[in-house]
Amino acid sequence: MAVRRLNPEQPTTFEFTPENLSWAEAKIKDYPDGKQASAVIPLLWRAQEQHDNWLPEPALRVVAEMLDMPLIRVYEVATFYTMFQLAPVGKKAHIQVCGTTPCMLRGSGDLIAACKKRIAATPHTLSGDGNFSWEEVECLGSCANAPMVQVSKDTYEDLTPDLFDKLLDGLDAGQPPKPGSQTGRTASCPSGGLTTLKNGPVRWNEASNDMVPANVVDQEAAVATSGNADKNPAGKAAKTSSATDGTSGSLEKPANLLDAPRGGTGDDLKRISGVGPKLERTLNALGIFHYDQIAKWAADEIAWVDDNLTFKGRIARDDWMSQAKTLAAGRETDFAKRVDAGDVDSSKDE
Ligand code: FES
Q: What is the pLDDT of residues 299-336, one digit of tens each?
A: 888 888 888 887 677 788 788 988 999 999 999 988 89
Query: How many angstroms is it from 38 CA to the middle of ligand 1?
Result: 27
The pLDDT of residue 31: 95
Taking only the tens place, the pLDDT of each residue in 260-284 is: 999 999 999 999 988 888 889 989 9
| Pocket of ligand 1 contains residue 97 by CB under 6 Å | no
- What's the mean pLDDT in 197-206? 68
| Pocket of ligand 1 contains residue 148 by CB under 6 Å | yes
Residue 244, CA atoms < 13 Å, CB-side half-sphere: 4
Structural domain including 97 reads 93-181
| Same domain membership, residue 169 and residue 36 | no
Assess if residue 191 is contained within a domain.
Answer: no
Phi, psi of 331 (to 5 degrees): -95, 175
The pLDDT of residue 246: 38
| Same domain membership, residue 228 and residue 136 | no
Taking only the tens place, the pLDDT of each residue in 14-38 is: 999 999 999 999 999 999 999 999 9
Write down the pTM of the prediction: 0.58
CA 11, CA 285: separation in Å to the nearest integer?
74
Flag whether pLDDT at 232 surpasses 50: no
- What's the mean pLDDT in 74-87? 96
The pLDDT of residue 251: 79
Could you give the 3-state DSSP secondary structure of residue 176?
coil
Q: How far from chain centre, in Å, is Cα 132? A: 25
| Same domain membership, residue 295 and residue 218 | yes
| Pocket of ligand 1 contains residue 111 by CB under 6 Å | no
- What's the mean pLDDT in 185-208? 73
Q: Which residues of 193-210 are buried (b: 16+ CB within 10 A; e: fewer)?
A: bbeeebbeeeeebeeeee
Q: Which CATH number characterizes residue 59's domain? A: 1.10.10
The pLDDT of residue 259: 92
| Pocket of ligand 1 contains residue 188 by CB under 6 Å | no
Question: Which of 1, 96, 100, 158 most suits a substitution to test ligand 1, by most atoms within 8 Å of the C-beta?
Answer: 100
| Same domain membership, residue 335 and residue 206 | yes
231, 259, 244, 254: which is closest to 315 by C-alpha?
254
Assess if residue 11 is contained within a domain.
Answer: no
Mean pLDDT for the chain overall: 87
Taking only the tens place, the pLDDT of each residue in 102-129 is: 999 999 999 999 999 999 999 999 999 9
Flag whether pLDDT at 193 surpasses 50: yes
| Same domain membership, residue 210 and residue 336 | yes
- What's the mean pLDDT in 210-230? 61
Handedness of CA 84, 86, 90, 92 (dihedral sign): positive
Q: Which CATH number characterizes residue 170's domain? A: 3.40.30.10
**What are the residues whose beta carbons fall under 8 Å from the beta carbon of 297, sequence distance 6 or more?**
254, 305, 321
Domain boundary among 39, 59, 80: 80
Query: How many angstroms is it from 143 CA to the middle of ligand 1?
Result: 4
The pLDDT of residue 6: 94
Assess if residue 34 is contained within a domain.
Answer: yes
| Pocket of ligand 1 contains residue 251 by CB under 6 Å | no
Helix 161-172 / helix 108-118 crossing angle, nearest 10 deg: 40
